[in-house]
Amino acid sequence: MHHALELARKAEREDDEVPVGAVLVGADGTLLAEGWNRNITEHDPTAHAEIVAMRQAGQALANHRLIGSTLYVTLEPCAMCAMAMVHARIARVVYAASDPKTGAAGSVFDLLADPRHNHRVAVEGGVLADEASAMLTAYFRARRGKRPATG
């Protein structure tokens, strides 16, 4: 998750993107791919950190199935990203901050555990949540012209 947080900082620093980073690790613990939000930069509404990482891994493995892999991401996946994980057969997602507006890993929706799907993804949330939440809050406060939160 530390690496995913560094990628989130890179997204903001280098691309002025919403600071979300993702790291995809294979079943054997090897780094398969990484990504950060690119939707603003690439003018692509699907270029969320998770999707960028899954695309990169699919290309590297020459396979659309990412069986046994774990995705570490700094923000709870949205519905689009969650369903892509189901289709890719990702084994587990570990996320930092919950998303109370569009979270699809248990906050607003619970798409990854829905028994109606032919695959379910194990979910662990809250890993380094304070750090990820603080980064996201600071980013959106700055975008809205507000002073940084104190605390």
So which residues are the catalytic ones? Answer: 50
The amino acid present at 128, given as its one-letter code, is L
What gap in Å lies between CA 85 and CA 89, rounded to an integer?
Answer: 6
Element (H, E) at 96: strand 92-97
Q: Residue 74: name the closest of 8, 142, 148, 147 by CA.
A: 8
Q: What b/e readout covers 57-80, taking b as 16+ CB neighbours within 10 angstroms? A: bbeeeeeeebeebbbbbbbbbbeb
Q: Residue 75: name the closest of 14, 19, 32, 33 by CA.
A: 19
Helix (H, G, I), strand (E, B) or coil at 116: coil
Q: How many other CB atoms sit within 10 Å of the CB of residue 101?
A: 9
